[in-house]
Structure formats: C-alpha cells, structure tokens
Structure 1
Amino acid sequence: MTVEQNQQEELPTTNNNRKKMLALISVLIIVLAGLGWYFLYFIKTPVYSLNIVREAIAKHDVNKFNKHVDVDNILAKGYDDAITAMVDSDKKIDANTKVFVKGLSQMFKAPITAMAKEGILKYVEIGKWQDEATENQEAVVPNKTGMNSDNLVDKTGLKESKFKDIAYTKIDGDIAVVGITLFDEKINKDFIAELKMKKLSDGTWQVIEFANLKEYINTVQAAKNNK
C-alpha cells in the first residue's frame, strides 16, 4: 500500500478523534472510580493516593483530581503509545509508510489531547460526558494514517476490562509503579496495567503515566488473535 493510497482513506472529523481519545482515557478513570472497597492501605502510599483519585472522581473534586493525576502527561504519552502500537501491528502497510504515519500523527496530537483533557475534566466535574461539539464547530481532518480511528479504543483491550486487584507496588525513591490486575471478559484472561506515579512534596502520589500501555495493547491483541 502506497503513501498516496493511505492519504486517500476515510476522513473522520476531529470530533470523532476526540471521542476515541476520551474513551481511551475514560476507561482508566472508570477503573480508578470502581476500586472502592479495595483500599485498606496506609496514608501516603501510592495505592492510597489512587483511592484519593477515586474519591475525587466520586465527589467531583477537579482540583484534587488534577493534583493526583497528570492528565497532560498521561494523554501525551498515551497518544504516542497507542499510535505506535496500532501502526506497528498493521500488516497492511510497509515499514516506510509506518514511519511516515507516526510522524504525521504528531500533527494532530496537540488538538486531540487538548480536547480530550477538556472532556476528562468536565467529566470529573459533573460526572458524565458532555455532548460533543456542534457540527459547525467541527473541522474535517484527513486521517492519513491508513487506520480507522474507531479502532483506537478496541485495540487497547481496556474496553472489556474490569478491575480485579492490586498486583504489586514497586517504589524506587520518588517514583513508584503500581500494577493493577484487569480481567478481560472477552478473552477470559488477566492482564497487568502499570501506573507510574511520582511522589509529591506533601508525601502523597500522582499518576503520571500508563507505563506499559503499548505493551498492554500488543499483549491483548495477540491473545485475541490466538483465541
């Protein structure tokens, strides 16, 4: 498949891309919001701070949510990891086209992640997703990636996943990684999602990254393909 052919593929709107990024990160929010009963931990541990995030969502406390979740960094790295995983796993395009697609995707990163952040914070504030922008506010953006953006959420595998338990916590100075066991109902299998966190000045922690999103996507897709 040539670059020119990829450039002529479907043209989803920025609104559609926004939905997919919102859906991608909203799954993580829903997982955090559903942890509930699990947290019987000491104050100022990484896992306890995850409970603070859950409570912030439940109480619509945007300031507390922002304190303990670095939305900007999560979206920025999550976008790159999701695009990389999707492009690398696409067997319909050659190596040169994959390089082109990854570079081109950066053109849309800033507006898509900005809209996603706005939607996430509004969700925390009111507890539901707002209606998407009206059609006269939409701008058509060519999807030159050669991929349907509808696949973004499906390829993560998070859509069918539910929180099961905390698998482990690894702390190295002011950085921690919390492994969360998620159960994928579609393929009846557990997977570990790693949340990277950093210690704040008051001793609590902030989620800064879905550390293994790319590997998680690849693992889930491989399991589904082998099912």
Structure 2
Amino acid sequence: MDDYTWRIKMHQRRRRVRRERFAVLMLVVLSICGAIWYFGLYARTPEYAAKKLEQALEEKDIETFRKYAALELVLSDAYDDLTVDLFHNDTSLTPQAKSLFEKFYVLIKPQLVGATEDVICKRVSGGMWVMPEGGDMLKGRQLGIDYEEFLERSLLRSTRIKSLGEVTKENGSASIILEVLEENSHTPFTLELGMEKNDEGDWQVVSIKNYRTYLETVSPRIHQEVTEYVQATAGIVAKYNEILQSKQWDATYMSYSATGQLTKEQRTGLANYLENSVIPIVKKRQEELNQIPVPRGAMYLSNLRKESTDLSIRVWQHYVHGLRDDNIAEFNTAESLLKQMLATEQRIEDIIHRAAVSKAIPNMP
C-alpha cells in the first residue's frame, strides 16, 4: 500500500470514528431528553395519571391506585350525590322528613365514606367485594342503616368499566371520559372524572362530575323493573305467605306446653312436622318463583329471595336437629341463621318499598 492510499484510508477511518462517536453522543442526549420528558413532563400530565390508574386496576396495585385517585375527595362528593338520590324519587316522604333524613346522613358521613374507601381498596387489591365484618359499626344496622343496601344503591358493585376515553385539560384542571356499563339494568353510560394536581404535582382523580346524573338515569330503570318483577310474583308470594302462616299456627299449637318444656313425643312430632310439612313448602315457593322471568334490574332482589329461602331452610333444618337430639348447639345455630334471614328479609322489604314509593317514570327503550 502506497503512502497516499494509506492516508486516504486513515482519513476515512477517522471520519467513521467521529460519526460513530457523534451517533453515540446523540443517543445519550436523546435518552437524557427522553428521560427528562418522561419523568419531568409526561409523568406530570393527566394522561400519565390516567394510564397509571388503568395499570393499577389491572395489576391490583393498591399503592399506585391510591396515589392517582384521591378516594376521600371522590367519595365525599359522591356520598352527597347519593344521599340526595336516596330520597329524590320517594313520594312517601314529606319535605320535613326528607330534611331529617338528610341531616342524619350528614352525621354518619365519615363512617360511611371511610368504610366505602376500605371496601374499594380491598376490591382493587384482592378482586373481591368484602363487606364490613366482626365488630364493625356498619355490620348489620348498628348505625340505623343497611350498609349492604347503601352500597347496592351506589351502583358501585354493578358498574363495569368498559374503556378509558380521552383526557381534556381546561383552566388548570382536567377530565377523563370513562365508558361504563351498569350491569343490573344493562345501561351504558359515560362518566366524567374530574382531575386536579396535588401538592406534589401529581394529577389525581378527585371527583365524578356527573355521578348524580348517572344515579338519576339508572335508579328509575331499576325501580321500574323491580316493580314489574314484584307484580309478576305477587300471587306466588301471597299464596305461600298464607300457607306458611297456617303452618306456623299448627307448629305453635304442637309446641304448647304448660310447663314450658316439650316432651320427647312433642319434640319428635314437631320435628317431623317441620321436616315434612314446612320445609317442602318453603322449597316449593322458591321453585315457583324461579319460573318467573327476572328483569335485569330486579336480579338483586331475586337473588336476595333465593338467599332468604336458603337461610330459612337451614334454620328449620338445624331446629329439627335440635329437637330430635335435644342439642342446644343446633338451636343456637338456628338462631344465628334466623338473624341473617331476618336481615335479608328486611333488605327485600326495603327494596320493594322503595320501588313502590318511587315516582313513575316514562317507558324507556
């Protein structure tokens, strides 16, 4: 290789090395710029917060979910909307009565909001709706309300997220479009989530802007379908209520004792009567109810009736075992199940009453 050729090749090599170094430098610069954009700019946008919320729900990441959803703020506003809706269509209440109820719900707001926040967090992290348990004040009706029914009326458990829509920004705030389906009434709806920046500069969902409109759209449809279902099953319910009332009188007569203690023959006779005459009637009643078509909006009521029937049968079965074996543990179990059954029956009555006193609405497509 002559000297000229060698110099040409060296020059080309130096140019190639410079180009490679420049390319590497550009990659580094672009990476740094990308990181600055992602962590310094994009990560501080409502679009990023919306994406992280979506991922948190998919991955059951409760910490990330709580970071980008200000649950206490969301639930506080939603609670106010819900408590207004609770009495909005109730024609049986006077203005004074409505005012008293509204004041009562203001008093118990901290407990209900806190409990609902806990229920939502357990749902996000574990995938299950877990109701208050143990000595929780909201178990049963210790606060004077049925929290299970309160949660059902919020539509929280029956709302399924279909898709996350566009994010819009205006005057320092933002909104996310959320397409949902209310599964009880099979009603599609577009929710608008309000977003604000927190003190750390992260965007958070702070409200459901049209939650009350959502309630006012769905609740009347559910009331209407509940009313239709109640009317369709009224004959069955009335017939078996009369039969079971007669059976109860017979059982009361059979269990009469001047001393307050049943003889062995009485216990055996009463056990046989309950097993052969009462339990089959309870089962037959449910079988006939199962033959009635259930509108989507009345599915919760229908399921409660099935639950009540199951509890009733179990009550009588344990009572029968207690009579035959003179076993106090069986009687205690029957009593515990009876309390659950009565709570379920009360919930059923509340739903039927609410549908009955709600304002009539026009036929909907």
TM superposition score normalised by structure 2: 0.43
Distance 1:187 1:134, change over 3 A: closer
Distance 1:180 1:85, change over 3 A: same
CA shift at 1:61, angstroms? 3.5
Q: 1:212 aligns with which of 202, 210, 213?
A: 210
1:117-138 CA-partner distances (Å, limit 9, x unpaired): 2343344444445563215875
Partner of 1:50: 50
Distance 1:161 1:93, change over 3 A: same
Partner of 1:88: 88
Return the letter of the residue paired with 2:117: K
Q: 1:142 aligns with which of 144, 163, 166?
A: 144
Which structure carries more helix by proportion?
Answer: 2
Larger Rg: 2
The answer to whether the 8 Å contact 1:167/1:192 transfers is no
Gaps of 5+ in 1: 1-41
CA shift at 1:94, angstroms? 1.4
The whole-number CA distance in structure 2 between the counterparts of 1:51 and 1:96 is 46
The answer to whether the 8 Å contact 1:180/1:192 transfers is yes
1:50-73 CA-partner distances (Å, limit 9, x unpaired): 221232244443332221010111
The whole-number CA distance in structure 1 between the counterparts of 2:59 and 2:185 is 34
1:65-98 CA-partner distances (Å, limit 9, x unpaired): 2210101111211111111111122122111211
Return the letter of the residue paired with 2:207: E
The whole-number CA distance in structure 1 between the counterparts of 2:182 and 2:69 is 24
Distance 1:167 1:79, change over 3 A: same
Aligned counterparts, 1:80-159, within 5 A = 80-130=80-130, 132-135=132-135, 140-143=142-145, 150-157=148-155, 159=157
Moved more, 133-142 or 184-193: 133-142
The whole-number CA distance in structure 2 between the counterparts of 1:129 and 1:187 is 20
Partner of 2:169: 171
Distance 1:80 1:64, change over 3 A: same
The answer to whether the 8 Å contact 1:156/1:216 transfers is no
**Number of residues of Structure 1 aligned to a counterpart in Structure 2:** 182
Q: 1:196 and 2:198 equivalent? A: no
Distance 1:222 1:117, change over 3 A: closer
1:167-212 CA-partner distances (Å, limit 9, x unpaired): 5433113211222222345544421111111134676421111121
Instruction: Among all aligned residue pairs of Structure 1 and Structure 2, give the percentage whose two residues are the same amino acid.
Output: 20
CA shift at 1:216, angstroms? 1.0
The answer to whether the 8 Å contact 2:162/2:180 transfers is yes
SS in 1 for 2:144: coil
The answer to whether the 8 Å contact 2:195/2:203 transfers is yes
The whole-number CA distance in structure 2 between the counterparts of 1:120 and 1:158 is 9
The answer to whether the 8 Å contact 1:82/1:152 transfers is no
Distance 1:159 1:112, change over 3 A: closer
The whole-number CA distance in structure 1 between the counterparts of 2:57 and 2:150 is 24
TM superposition score normalised by structure 1: 0.65
The whole-number CA distance in structure 1 between the counterparts of 2:215 and 2:128 is 26
The whole-number CA distance in structure 2 between the counterparts of 1:190 and 1:131 is 26
SS in 2 for 1:90: coil
RMSD: 3.1
The whole-number CA distance in structure 1 between the counterparts of 2:136 and 2:174 is 44
Aligned counterparts, 1:2-41, within 5 A = none
Which structure carries more strand by proportion?
Answer: 1
The whole-number CA distance in structure 2 between the counterparts of 1:190 and 1:213 is 13
The answer to whether the 8 Å contact 1:88/1:98 transfers is no
The whole-number CA distance in structure 2 between the counterparts of 1:203 and 1:48 is 12
The whole-number CA distance in structure 2 between the counterparts of 1:113 and 1:128 is 19
